[in-house]
Amino acid sequence: MKKNSVESSPTWIDPDDAPEITEEWVTSADLFDGETLVRRGRPRKANPKSQVTLRLDKEVLEYFRETGEGWQTLMNDVLRAHVAKSQARRSVVVKVHVGDVGRVRSALRTLEGKLDKLNKDLQVITVQRHAEEVSKRRERA
């Protein structure tokens, strides 16, 4: 067996030679609750995000990356808005008299157009909010 080249014995033996306990040392020390180590750092989220591997069109990926820092959060916000819109469309149930089908179809087309416009407006607002957050972060840095 090869002998260690670095001596592993303590560098001090006398308790009077012990290093001074500083505030920095105390804040970096492990905290125990009885025998259990208390986790440090950011608490875990109740609903954490999932990491995925996803294939995207080159243009789509470039668009989001060009928005700057936080582009993945922006992409998540846009997808969340799409999910909300899709769920809202699915959740509408209407009972219609046979004679009113034509008018209802026309009204639904109008509503779909308005929903599409609202969705586009929401995406624009999301992109604008993201750009404002990025510029605030840059100002702070």
Extents of the domains making up the chain: 58-140
pLDDT in tens, 109-141: 887 887 777 777 777 777 778 778 888 888 887
Handedness of CA 115, 118, 123, 124 (dihedral sign): positive
The DSSP secondary structure of 24-79, one letter per residue, reads HHHHHS-EEETTEEEPPSSPPPSS----------HHHHHHHHHT-TTHHHHHHHHH
Q: How far is CA 55 from the centre of its chain?
A: 19
Q: Which two tokens stand for residue 6?
A: 């670095």
Please tell me the distance from the alpha carbon of residue 38 to that of residue 41, in angstroms, as a whole number.
Answer: 10
* Prediction pTM value: 0.41
Is residue 36 within 8 A of residue 88, CB to CB? The reply is no
pLDDT in tens, 36-87: 877 767 777 888 889 999 999 999 999 999 989 999 999 998 898 888 888 7
Determine the pLDDT at residue 109.
81
